[in-house]
Amino acid sequence: MEILFDEIPSLDLADFTSGTEAQKSAFVNKLAEAYQNIGFVAIKNHGLSQDLQDRLYGSIKRFFALPDEVKSHYEKPEIGFQRGYTGKGKEHAKGRNTGDLKEFYHVGQELSTIPDTDPIKSEYPENVWPKELPEFANDANEAYRTLESAGKAMLRAIALSLDLEENYFEDKVAHGNSILRQIHYFPITNPDEVPADAVRAAEHGDINLITLLMGASADGLQVKRKDGKWIPITALPDQLVVNVGDMLERLTNKKLKSTIHRVVNPPREKMNSSRYSIPFFMHPRSEMDLTCLESCVSQDSPKQFVDITAGEFLEERLRELGLKK
């Protein structure tokens, strides 16, 4: 049954991870309903403490306050900006040429945590750490591990909702190519100096399996409902917003929805203020096969995507976003 939500549903991850069988089953059913209709939920009891969030936001605010010429030392275009800093306006949404009004910093898997026997280790670049902020690495790595753990729990629930084995995704995301992105939507002191169609984040779907977003510092995130109406995404301070990405939509032949979302500009009088946001883009290993699940293909729902691996899909999308040539 199609449902038009006026707000995204709120769930308690503890119901799934430590609840009764009835609570666990109810969580899976509510998650399936949300992901088949709007593609977003808000969850609590995810393991990410407020103290850690505060420390991480403090770190990134100090980094983005550095002069542009200092930040540019940590820019790595040769690896498609997949680690370190990405400067203002360098990423644009698929199908657009105007850059988004943001700058960001990428953290990936710490290579020291990956066994030498795992061939995936050779695929990842080293993380880039700003020497001006010695605390940044510890805070970012702790948040990365915590969000990765919460993401694995969500994927176990998603697997059950698709009638798969609960651990279906476990080997596919082990040391996966996930990214912690720290974003600064910078102040615009003179709105007349930016392109008329420039926005903080133009409408887009995420590339990955799922995205886990900790609370942003200001309003602005909106999701596009099935009927075309944009609704604001709001989450309580103790919640994470978790949404379906394009890879999961492909795998499920659009049974689960990678819903278009955006970050709109604030009113003109507030354009000179910053907005900070920290999403965790949960990616699988590059060899994961994204071929549509047979259980999601039928006469009523014919296969909508060509076969592709996660690595191939990521490369394709990075070129579309202007981050790789």
Using alpha carbons, list the distances in angstroms from residue 60 to 44, 206, 254: 24, 22, 35
Is 3 within the bounds of a domain?
A: no
Residue 216 has pLDDT above 70, yes or no: no
Is 173 within the bounds of a domain?
A: yes
| Beta pairing, strands 240-244 & 179-185 | unpaired
Number of structural domains the chain divides into: 1
DSSP for residue 261:
E
Cβ contacts of residue 99 below 8 Å, gap of 6+?
A: 88, 89, 90, 91, 92, 198, 322
Place of tokens 């609704």: 231
Q: Tell me the residue type at 178.
A: S
User: Half-sphere exposure of residue 91, counting CA atoms within 13 Å on the CB side?
Assistant: 25
Which tokens hold the place of 126?
């080293």
Is 88 within the bounds of a domain?
A: yes
In this predicted structure, what is the pLDDT of residue 7? Answer: 79
Main-chain dihedrals φ then ψ at residue 107, nearest 5 degrees: -125, 135
| Beta pairing, strands 261-263 & 179-185 | unpaired
User: Half-sphere exposure of residue 201, counting CA atoms within 13 Å on the CB side?
Assistant: 21
Is 5 within the bounds of a domain?
A: no
Give the model confidence (pLDDT) of 267-288 as tens digits.
777 778 888 989 999 999 999 9
In CATH, what number is assigned to the domain containing residue 129?
Answer: 2.60.120.330
* Mean pLDDT of the 181-198 span: 79
d(CA 30, CA 50): 26
- For 117-138, the DSSP string reads T-GGGGGSPPP---TT-TTHHH
Which tokens hold the place of 107?
């953290």
Name 278's bridge partners: 214
Give the model confidence (pLDDT) of 89-145 as tens digits.
787 667 666 777 889 999 999 999 999 999 999 999 999 999 999 999 999 999 999
Is 1 within the bounds of a domain?
A: no
Q: From the CB of residue 74, how many other CB atoms can be counted at a distance below 10 Å?
A: 19
Residue ranges making up the domain that contains 137: 10-320
- For 292-307, the DSSP string reads PPGGG--SSS---S--
Residue 191 has pLDDT above 80, yes or no: no
Res. 4 pLDDT band, cuts 50 70 90: low
Is 2 within the bounds of a domain?
A: no
Q: Where do the H-state alpha helices sit in the chain?
A: 13-17, 21-37, 50-64, 68-71, 136-161, 170-173, 246-251, 310-320
Is residue 222 within a helix (H) or strand (E), and if so which, with residue range? strand 221-224
**pTM for this structure?**
0.92
d(CA 281, CA 206): 8
Q: What SS3 class is residue 10? A: strand
Q: What SS3 class is residue 54? A: helix
Is residue 223 within a helix (H) or strand (E), and if so which, with residue range? strand 221-224
Q: What SS3 class is residue 268? A: helix
Res. 204 pLDDT band, cuts 50 70 90: confident
Is 151 within the bounds of a domain?
A: yes
Is 4 within the bounds of a domain?
A: no
